[in-house]
Amino acid sequence: MSTTTVQKTATKEGEDWQPLIITFCCNWCSYAGADLAGVSRLQMPTNFRVIRTMCSARVDPEFVLRAFSKGADGVLVLGCHPADCHYIGGNYRTRRRIALLRMLLEQYGFDPDRLKLEWVSASEGPKFQQTITDFVKEIKEIGPNPLKEDQVEEH
Amino acid sequence: MAKIKIAQYWGAGCGGCDVALLDIDEKILGVAEIADIAFWPIAVDTKLKDVEAMPDGYITATLYNGAIRNSENEHVAKLLRKKSAIIVSFGSCACYGGVPGLANLTSAKEVLEYVYTKTPSSDQQGAKDPVFPQHETHTKYGDLELPVLYNTVKTLDQVIDVDYYMPGCPPTTNLINQFLGIVENHVKNGAPLPPKGAMIASNKTLCDECTRKKTVKQIDAVHSAFEVDIDPQKCMLEQGVICLGPATRAGCGAKCLEGNQPCRGCMGPTDQVQDQGGSMLSALASIYKVQDKETQMSEEDILKIMTQVKDPMGTFYCYTMPKSIIKRSVKERPRVKKEAAP
């Protein structure tokens, strides 16, 4: 999906505004969980785009910041449950990073709930469905990404 | 041989960069040998109208320091671009926004309101009808004009085309000498100039240049530099002091670390990274020790550990906010509670 389409979808106001959510899934647990949700035909909102990374710790804070700067309304990072990381301790790094990144987003003025970390294992298709459904609902309450609204005029 | 013309100008900066140029000691004589000063408000008395009268491209090299924060900064930057063959973005403020760039967390209106009505030294504290600086003031002696303060602090290259970058707060003498050497060699021997957009600094991180002993990084807590006795031989981060070395470009010679102070990141990120703050945030979060009871820890427990970092923005983006990915603060609208879909 090109950047322009992303912005078109996301700047629409009112009832028909649909949030755009970037979901980072780790290769070993969450991506398989998302796959399971898919093959099980579990119904969920379609506002999210999945980006697969080898580990949730591969999600550089820069990826998240870039997603917001390009118009994403929410970013969801999914990884293996504690003690289940394929790389032993990747998810422990992730949870520290995301906690700090949420503090940073708050200082920028963003609602920190636009960034969420959740653990989804390969067998948790229904949890994937639930996480997406809840997150989309929450982002709809928070509203469109303020970066696109140009509330502060340039000069 | 005709002398080349150099200029230096300050935008939103502190003047430290101007002094840094004088700080190269006797080498300044070498500069005087090959160059005339065409424009340098802090040192010589050339007026802006004299610059306006110069033919385009008259100045060989302009060192512009300071960020772009008001209409005057922008006007002079555009004027100097027209009159100069080479523009060097000089110092952290011009390259990355620098400390003035942190004003992007607020707006021009809030800055003026605070300075003119809320600072303890202000006469207008609690005044009913406070006076603010205006762009235009009409008096019986004539009209007066002040530059307009912008909401968003910008870097020099966000306003004009820049040829070279020299970061640092201020750029260290070895970087300035390196650049002057290049220019001198070009003028005297016709040696080629570096490619456009070149960064006059190293492209490795500061840790590469730092001579402290580095072993395994595992910390329980972070401390401010004044709270602990810092071992001058050992890596700052290993002692729990936040040092931006891993996310910062080398080239300064790790002078702060020689003085037993942590790096605060004035050299900006390396070419491979766009967001210095994000890069440092990632590095710092990774060196926190994984605890034995990690699997039982909730996200709140983790947040408790991470809130030891008191001011992530001021720590990680001290010099680079206008050049970061998000660039300035945003304002959320209030949340709208919605009923669950049937």
- Phi and psi at A28, nearest 5°, equal -90, -35
| Residue B232 sits in the same domain as residue B269 | yes
Inter-chain contact A141–B336, Cβ cutoff 8 Å? yes
> What is the pLDDT confidence band of residue B24, given thresholds at 50, 70 and 90?
confident
pLDDT score, position B26: 86
For chain B, the average pLDDT equals: 92
Tens-digit pLDDT profile for residues B264-276: 999 999 999 989 9
- Bin B155: left if φ > 0, else alpha if -120 < ψ < 50, else beta: beta
In a domain, A82, yes or no: yes
ipTM of the complex model: 0.91
CA of A99: which chain B residue's CA is closest?
B303
pLDDT score, position A10: 46
| Residue B221 sits in the same domain as residue B305 | yes
Inter-chain contact A100–B337, Cβ cutoff 8 Å? no
| Residue B246 sits in the same domain as residue B287 | yes
Per CB-CB distance under 8 Å, the chain B contacts of A68 are 325-326
| Residue B143 sits in the same domain as residue B280 | no
Q: Which CATH number characterizes residue A41's domain?
A: 3.40.50.960
How many structural domains comprise chain A?
Answer: 1
| Residue B140 sits in the same domain as residue B218 | no
**Test the B interface: residue of A84, A87, A108 with most B CBs within 10 Å:** A108
In a domain, B43, yes or no: yes
Tens-digit pLDDT profile for residues B130-157: 999 999 999 999 999 999 999 999 999 9
Inter-chain contact A104–B282, Cβ cutoff 8 Å? no
| Residue B166 sits in the same domain as residue B251 | no
How many structural domains comprise chain B?
Answer: 3
pLDDT score, position A150: 60
In a domain, B199, yes or no: no
| Residue B84 sits in the same domain as residue B166 | yes
pLDDT score, position B243: 96
In a domain, B340, yes or no: no
| Residue B110 sits in the same domain as residue B257 | no
In a domain, A86, yes or no: yes
Q: Quick check: B67 and B97 in contact, CB under 8 A?
A: yes
pLDDT score, position B33: 87
pLDDT score, position B79: 97
Inter-chain contact A92–B105, Cβ cutoff 8 Å? no
> What is the pLDDT confidence band of residue B338, given thresholds at 50, 70 and 90?
low
pLDDT score, position B127: 85
In a domain, B342, yes or no: no
pLDDT, greater one: B216 or B1: B216
- Whether the pLDDT of residue B96 is over 90: the answer is yes
Q: Which CATH number characterizes residue B80's domain?
A: 3.40.50.700
> What is the pLDDT confidence band of residue B31, given thresholds at 50, 70 and 90?
confident
| Residue B90 sits in the same domain as residue B123 | no
| Residue B170 sits in the same domain as residue B254 | no
The domain of B314 spans 206-323
Whether chain B has a CB inside 8 Å of the CB on A141: the answer is yes
| Residue B11 sits in the same domain as residue B115 | no
The domain of A98 spans 19-141
- Whether the pLDDT of residue A1 is over 60: the answer is no
Average pLDDT over residues A21-39: 97
pLDDT score, position A15: 61
Give the lowest-confidence range in B127-136, B257-266, B312-321. Answer: B127-136
Token representation of residue B5? 């013309």
pLDDT score, position B260: 94
| Residue B229 sits in the same domain as residue B180 | no
